[in-house]
Structure 1
Amino acid sequence: MTTWMRCYWDEEDTWFYFEVAPEGWVIRQVELEGPELTPVAAASLAEWQRARDAGHLDEYDSRFGITAELPISEWEGHDPEQLTSKEFEEVWGPARRQIASWAS
């Protein structure tokens, strides 16, 4: 079952929001930095894979970032807060639009 969660890393003052596939791989990820919660990444694994296959990986990475490279079962030192799909989408949509508008 797909799950949604968020974690806070205080060393970077960053909130990480994750949509996680049943196998534990992150399929979408948002990163919000600082007190203003500025979006710095809003990446989709499926889009990343398509960009890689099309030879546009650098462009995608610089625009939207990347998703976590390890499945969550291999993460250490995180204390995730479970979210609903709706809560994740309320962060994903605005972050994605803001990042896309900067690159236009």
Structure 2
Amino acid sequence: MRCYWDEEDTWFYFEVGAEGWVIRQVELEGPELTPIAAASLAEWRHAYDTGRLDEYDNRLGITAELPVSEWQGHDPQELTYDEFEEVWDSARRQIAAGLS
């Protein structure tokens, strides 16, 4: 799904698991849709377990900390798996290129 937050001019894209937790999240900011986050819950947990959480957060961000069922004030738009994958792949490539 995706949601728009007009206060920050940011699109949020989410892949959500069966229990409502965000598995992967992309944030695109401004009219250019600049990727500012492309985080995976599994990667975040691995970074936490290996003591590299700050590095991961600074580079790729974090996923939402509450399950979708507890969110308020959002108007999600459904996406297909392929639509999310396209945004995910593009954001990850752009973030990686910016780190080079």
1:70 aligns with 2:61: no
TM superposition shift of 1:70: 0.3
Q: Which stretches of structure 1, 4 residues or more, deviate above 2 A after TM superposition?
A: none
**Counterpart residue type for residue 9 of structure 1:** W
Instruction: Specify the SS of the correspondent of 2:58.
Output: helix
TM superposition shift of 1:103: 1.9
TM superposition shift of 1:102: 1.5
1:38 aligns with 2:27: no
Length-normalised TM-score, structure 1: 0.95
Instruction: Specify the SS of the correspondent of 1:16.
Output: strand
Choose between structure 1 and 2: higher strand proportion: 1
Whole-angstrom CA distance in 1 between matches of 2:81 and 2:57: 24
Length-normalised TM-score, structure 2: 0.98
Equivalent residue, structure 2, for 1:49: 45
Q: Which runs of 5+ in 1 are unaligned?
A: none
Q: What are the equivalent positions in structure 2 for 1:1-104 lying under 5 Å apart?
A: 5-104=1-100
TM superposition shift of 1:101: 1.8
Instruction: Specify the SS of the correspondent of 1:29.
Output: strand
